[in-house]
Structure 1
């Protein structure tokens, strides 16, 4: 039977909590397996799959670029007199058989590699916010390249934010090529985690790849471990290809860059209002993307990016923090699992303008449902406000606490012979003090079974008052400032100087 520690329990707990843990015994980490939550029955999944195939055969997609038409018709797609490409079921099934599975999205530091397999869950940023939330004045201002770089630096320091996709647009850059170059460099200089970016013009892919190869060391090194992926809105819902984005995607695929096939319809506006049919449309559009990618480069790494959003049907405005959004995302995750494809979707968005209670419930509910559904890549999981129009650096910091709790829920309950043994109960109830506070078992598990918030406050009211009533947002501001003050530049100084000599870089 385990012994009971009758003295020194608090000191021992404090010492244990301060000791660093190996990654494999931490209570939460990237890649925990979800899948416990399934809003769709098996019959529902088959119904959605069948409807998506019907849509591809009977409706098809319009406005493919000539290069895309050539690629997809060569594989078996049919170009109609109405200009729409239609996809026979057999073609979709053939391309699904070729599609890459169990892919790895690399970080520049291998410890940040993300294996997209099964129901393994990873959380990160994304979006194209045009404003930053300024908590000193509770106002919105235009986002800048420095803000983007700061967001990358903060993400690098957060354990529960596993990748960094561009979260905002640098509004201080008016030239679109300079915007794309600075977006990449601000991200890479801020973090060695995997990075997602996009291109505003297909002609920008080549010069951006030149910079990326310099950052990697050379082209071969990048191709071996592509640490940047292309977030590509290759469709404009409903059921239309986005010509320039498709051409950019073709360039990225030939350059060895993983792609996110992103379909972002809005239920009730650019996607059907029924939640199930919104999923059908998103799945159909992304299946067309699977055909496109694998007809061009069989087995090229691609993320099945069904991102249907929700409208508030009273106004038509987007509602990213709604329960309907959470259901859409979880339902899409089930479809990813049905196809056994690496999948991504959006969660964690708040419609609130500030990091308040509304932001807390919206971020928490949508992220936990995404995680429990086993979504491989949860985008926009921290920092997003005003239905994607605003980004808040302090909310990114707070999001690390939220995502820690979410990941703990994803991990679930460990039921083993050891964890259900009644020996610890015997030692406390029959021979001990009648509580478990100082037992060996409690001390052993307090860091590996339980997670503790960095900023969240668990003080009693008395302790809180004695501590001069610390406020959550004040602590978030302080942690943000501390991270930025201590953040290291993630580029070798000589290379950084060379990049700044050759490009117009807009951040410090």
Structure 2
């Protein structure tokens, strides 16, 4: 005991000191844009079959309800308008437009250090959704979301290392006017985070005001066009196989306004998409390929994300089951199709059907996020904070999700095998010449921060230590962390002069 105890104590002190030291960004064990792609539920034959089926669907079924402007631009590119009003897309047209599509997209951020480089198997996790309720973990209640809640969520995301972008996760239910809601959504999120932001517009007429605000924030239209830090989440289709007329008109205006587009197809398997998982993917792929044609017919190479977002139904009730294993498979399969086309892609993961951040939420969120990351999905949307099958959003769950996503990203990174990492010489030294353990070894100390990731809130203490610490509760720790973050002023807040100009031009509901 007298010989081993000092060694153990010294090793622990050294490890503690090392872990508390700041780490250069390039040495962090996990970071945005790490390469996944080692997992795929679809075989190569399955991928090819889905591709051919999607092409058949576009050529023989087509899509209905395109706006007149969309019909004009797509038929000029080679689409065929049938007597039944449906646009059909020959195979050659699909191939031509895929060739024009940008294969590498940068989603800019207000702070360039948060820029997202979307290509290959680079993985990024973030928020999304349109929750109408906030989860009150203390009272175990649901209440309507407010613009302050949205701003607070953005401020929290700005401080979380493993949340890489902030697409609007909730709807401001306290702003009944849709134009004011759309503009206040932009204001609330962009003033809360310097990371890339995603948003939606309710009507085409609201786009001009939104772009004007973004030009003001950017410092001019030219600066906005050079670095557009907000993308449009655009549900351009109403599954099955119909264009969403007003959303398409929004998309057309935003393409011309220089905003990147998330082409979002969100059919629900067994309801608005075929029940087989392969069938739901096929329809989503077909719809998004139609979106690729639409975008590139307007502006070849315009930055867009192939957003196949098929969801799952619990076929016993018809209700959405976003936390299911089938949802995790759908998302991973979609990621494989994105890679097949060589396109930046996004899909949904991390959704909990659970109403509170409990054990059910933990397994539901972890399963789909890990599978999405391992599949190499570029943009993992709805990855944290979402409950009740997208109806509820929880700030405590968002904070806990940062720990979860850190572990998911460590899985994405995988295992590096080198002559040093197989550790033969270290094993020889420890086993034949040393103390018989690796706790204080130089290799252990040098790798503990770069090979391993440590949770911020999750508890790894022994039962004895847990008791001595007062039996800390995970949710209470998350609430304390939330309050700590929100007690500070937003680091993303606008310059007072700019803020005054925005408030003079637009009706801003957040207090100044």
Counterpart contact for 1:5–1:439, Cα < 8 Å: no
Tell me the distance in 2 between the aligned counterparts of 1:488 and 1:439: 42
Structure 1 residue 107 and structure 2 residue 112: aligned? no
1:15-70 deviations in Å (ceiling 9; x for gaps): 11111111111000000000010100110000000000000001000000000000
Q: 1:499 aligns with which of 489, 498, 502?
A: 502
Structure 1 residue 136: Cα displacement: 1.8
Aligned with 1:56 (options 55, 58, 67) = 58
Runs of at least 5 residues in structure 1 that lack an aligned partner in the other structure: none
Aligned partners of 2:104 and 2:117 also within 8 Å: yes
* Selected match of 1:481 from 471, 480, 483: 483
Stretches of structure 2 lacking an aligned partner (at least 5 in a row): 1-5
2:197 to 187, 195, 198: 195
Q: Confirm or deny: 8 A CA contact 2:351 2:365 kept in the other structure.
A: yes
Where 1:300 maps in the other structure, the secondary structure is coil
Q: Deviations over 1:348-386 (max 9, x none)?
A: 000000000000000000000000000000000000000
Query: Over aligned residues, Cα RMSD in angstroms?
Result: 1.0
1:240 aligns with 2:239: no
The secondary structure found in structure 2 opposite 1:311 is strand
Q: Deviations 1:251-275 (Å, cap 9, x if unpaired)?
A: 0000010000000000000000000
Q: CA deviation at 1:497?
A: 2.2
Deviation at 1:195, TM superposition (A): 0.2
Q: Does 1:286 align with 2:285?
A: no
When residues 424 and 236 of structure 1 are mapped into structure 2, their CA distance, relative to the original with a 3 A threshold, is same
- State the shift of 1:225 in Å: 0.5
3-state SS of paired residue (2:320): coil
Q: 2:215 aligns with which of 213, 216, 226?
A: 213
Alignment check: 8 A CA contact 1:180 1:199 kept: yes
Q: Is the 8 A contact 2:8 2:439 kept in 1?
A: no
Q: Corresponding residue for 2:224?
A: 222
The residue aligned with 2:337 is 335
Q: CA deviation at 1:498?
A: 2.1
Partners of 2:9 and 2:306 in 1: how far apart?
55
Tell me by how many angstroms 1:326 deviates.
Answer: 0.3
Task: Work out the CA distance in 1 between the residues paired with 2:9 and 2:386.
Answer: 47
Matched residue, 1:249: 251
Show the counterpart of 2:381: 379
The structural deviation recorded for 1:500 is 2.0
Show CA shifts across 1:311-336 (max 9, x none).
Answer: 00000000000000000000000000
1:502 Cα deviation from its structure 2 partner: 2.5
1:506 is displaced (CA, Å) by 1.5
SS of equivalent residue, structure 1 residue 236: coil
1:181-222, CA deviations, whole angstroms, 9 ceiling, x for partnerless residues?
000000000000000000000010011100000000000001
User: Matched residues in 2 for 1:258 and 1:114: separation?
Assistant: 12
Partner residue, 2:275: 273
Residues 204 and 246, structure 2, Cα contact 8 Å, conserved in 1:
yes
- 1:123 partner SS: strand
Q: Secondary structure at the match of 2:471?
A: coil
Within 5 Å, give how 1:40-439 maps onto structure 2: 40-439=42-441
Runs (4+) of structure 1 exceeding 3 A deviation are: 4-7
**Which residue of structure 1 aligns with residue 15 of structure 2?**
13
Residue pair 1:5, 1:440 contacting (<8 A) in 2 also: no
SS in structure 2 of the partner of residue 229 of structure 1: strand
Q: By how many angstroms is 1:488 displaced?
A: 2.2
In 1, distance between residues paired with 2:491 and 2:172? 19
CA 433–278 in structure 1, closer or farther in 2 if over 3 Å, else same: same
SS of the aligned residue for 1:223 comes to helix
CA distance, structure 1, for counterparts of residue 499 and residue 153 of structure 2: 19
Distance 2:283 2:343 in 1: 17
Distance 1:66 1:448, change over 3 A: same
- Secondary structure of 1:442's match? helix
Structure 2 SS opposite 1:8 = helix
Q: How many residues align?
A: 505
Shift of 1:237: 0.1
Shift of 1:421: 3.4
Question: Are the equivalent residues in 2 in contact too, given 1:202–1:247 (CA < 8 A)?
Answer: yes
**Alignment partner of 1:456 is 2:451:** no
Q: Taking structure 1 as reference, are residues 147 and 416 closer, same or farther at Cα in structure 2, changes over 3 Å only?
A: same
* TM-score under structure 1 length normalisation: 0.98
Q: For 1:203 and 1:324, how far apart are their aligned partners in 2?
A: 38
Distance 1:254 1:421, change over 3 A: same
Counterparts of 2:510 and 2:489, CA distance in 1:
14
2:31 and 2:381 map into 1 onto residues whose CA distance is: 17
Does the 8 A contact of 1:112 with 1:194 survive in 2?
A: yes
CA-CA distance at 1:7 after TM superposition: 6.2
For residue 124 of structure 1, give the secondary structure of its aligned residue in structure 2.
strand
TM-fit CA distance, 1:5: 6.7
Q: Structure 1, residues 387-444: CA drift from partner, whole Å, max 9, x if none?
A: 0000000000000000000000000001112111311111110111100001000000
1:14 shift after superposition:
1.1
